[in-house]
Amino acid sequence: MRLDLSSWQEVQAYLGHRTDIIIPIGSHEQHGPNGLIGTDAICPEIVARTFGERDSVMIGPTLGIGVAQHHLGFAGSVALRPTTLIAVIRDVVASLTRHGFTHVLFHNGHGGNIATVQAAFAEIYGDYSFRGEPAPTHLRLGNWFMGRRVMSLTRELYGDSNGQHATANEVALTYHAHPDQVKSVTMSPKVAPNGRFRDAADYRTRFPDGRMGSDPSRATPADGARLLEAAVEDLRDGHRDFVAGG
């Protein structure tokens, strides 16, 4: 089920028998020479929507812009400050809580969001803790790329060349979602360098084509179809544990 394609009466009926929702969250940033700018939003979104359709779980709007200042040296990247994303998450959770949702699972596609989403949860829980009231909402962060099945399949498909950014697995998943957007690009070097970075200028100098440690030229839509199935199973496990109170 999709929140954006439901009427308010349908949402009210859903809340009459269950109160959980999944919010895909990602980023809008460069993903190397053959990766789509929306990769980190497209991946959690297709996984969540596929799971939501199969298991009749409500899927909320994708928060498609994330914490990505280090990618601003590349055309098309759009970033939020951590404080901005915290404010967005607070208001989204407050809206859902007002309607009676009690379990909000953020399904994430961008490593750079992790610390900020967890900080947002601490802010939200803190509001109740400082007032001496129990928080009515359970919050959870899951990362599609860290699921057990996804990590195992990624190793099988790409070994060490999956990399850290503009990874082969995420590019494959977007190619499955958008097969008309497959881009054939010769990469040099074949596997990108790895390392640390600070700001956008530093990142651009160290990783000139945007990739980190990856060879996404190996990504295919067929791999993406397999990764989607693995990711949906991983999400099903995580979601079941979450609503069961784990």
Q: Which residues, including other chains, have CB under 8 Å from residue 129's CB and lie 6 or more apart? A: 135
- Min separation Cβ 40 and Ni ion, Å: 4
The DSSP result for 18-36, as a single string, is: --EEEEEE--B--BTTTB-
Taking CB under 5 A as the criterion, which residues in 63-102 touch Ni ion? none
Interface with Ni ion by CB under 5 A: which range of 168-176, 183-191, 211-219, 221-229? 168-176
Site string for Ni ion, 138-157 (x = CB under 5 A): --------------------
Q: Note whether 40 binds Ni ion by CB under 5 A.
A: yes
Q: Are 189 and 32 in contact (CB under 8 A)?
A: no
Q: Note whether 45 binds Ni ion by CB under 5 A.
A: no
Radius of gyration from C-alpha coordinates of the chain: 18
Q: Are 64 and 39 in contact (CB under 8 A)?
A: no
- Min separation Cβ 50 and Ni ion, Å: 19
Interface with Ni ion by CB under 5 A: which range of 48-56, 74-82, 122-130, 165-173? 165-173
- Min separation Cβ 170 and Ni ion, Å: 5
Neighbour-count burial for 138-155, b at 16+ CB within 10 Å, e otherwise:
bbbbbbbbebebbeebbe
Q: Is residue 209 helix, strand or coil?
A: coil
Q: Which two tokens stand for residue 111?
A: 């490593």
> In this chain, which residue has its C-beta nearest to Ni ion?
40
Interface with Ni ion by CB under 5 A: which range of 37-45, 96-104, 127-135, 233-241? 37-45
Q: Which two tokens stand for residue 133?
A: 């009231």
Q: Which is nearer to Ni ion, 39 or 143 (CB)?
A: 39
Q: Which is nearer to Ni ion, 103 or 204 (CB)?
A: 204
Cα–Cα separations (whole angstroms), residue 165 to 77, 93, 113, 135? 14, 29, 14, 36
Q: Which is nearer to Ni ion, 39 or 62 (CB)?
A: 39
Q: Which is nearer to Ni ion, 40 or 234 (CB)?
A: 40
**57 closest CA partner among 42, 72, 47, 43:** 47
Q: Which is nearer to Ni ion, 124 or 157 (CB)?
A: 157
Taking CB under 5 A as the criterion, which residues in 122-141 touch Ni ion? none
The single-letter code of the amino acid at 153 is L
Interface with Ni ion by CB under 5 A: which range of 39-47, 88-96, 174-182, 207-215? 39-47
Binding site for Ni ion (CB under 5 A): 39-40, 170
